[in-house]
Amino acid sequence: MLETLADPQLHARDMIVDLPHATIGRLRVLGNPVKMSDTPPAIRSAPPTLGQHTRSILRTDLGLSGEHVRALVEARAVGV
């Protein structure tokens, strides 16, 4: 596996992407295998940490009030 991930062709095709991560520093992730010349895909961020976007999703996507979100967090019904 290590030999495969070190292959120069994988790096030349941006199949291994090095990203900053909130808790571990740098994180190597797999790049997008689809390569399009006019609209090239990009890996913009590392995967979120557990609960990193919970408040935003509850407020923005589900329309819950700040008070409702606080109550869910205090009841340990959601992780943040």
Domain boundaries defined on the chain: 1-43, 48-80
Per-residue confidence (pLDDT) for residue 79, from 0 to 100:
85
Per-residue confidence (pLDDT) for residue 74, from 0 to 100:
94
Please tell me whether residue 34 adopts helix, strand or coil conformation. Answer: coil
pLDDT in tens, 7-61: 999 988 889 989 999 889 999 899 998 989 899 888 888 888 889 999 999 999 9
Per-residue confidence (pLDDT) for residue 60, from 0 to 100:
96
pLDDT at 73 over 90: yes
Q: In residues, how long is the chain?
A: 80
For residues 59-71, average pLDDT: 95
Check: CB of residue 17 under 8 Å from CB of residue 31.
Answer: yes
Report the Cα–Cα distance between both ends of the chain, in Å, rounded: 34
CA 51 to CA 57: how far, in whole Å?
Answer: 10
Angle value at C-alpha 52, between 17 and 21, nearest 5 degrees = 25
Per-residue confidence (pLDDT) for residue 43, from 0 to 100:
86
Rg (CA), the chain: 18
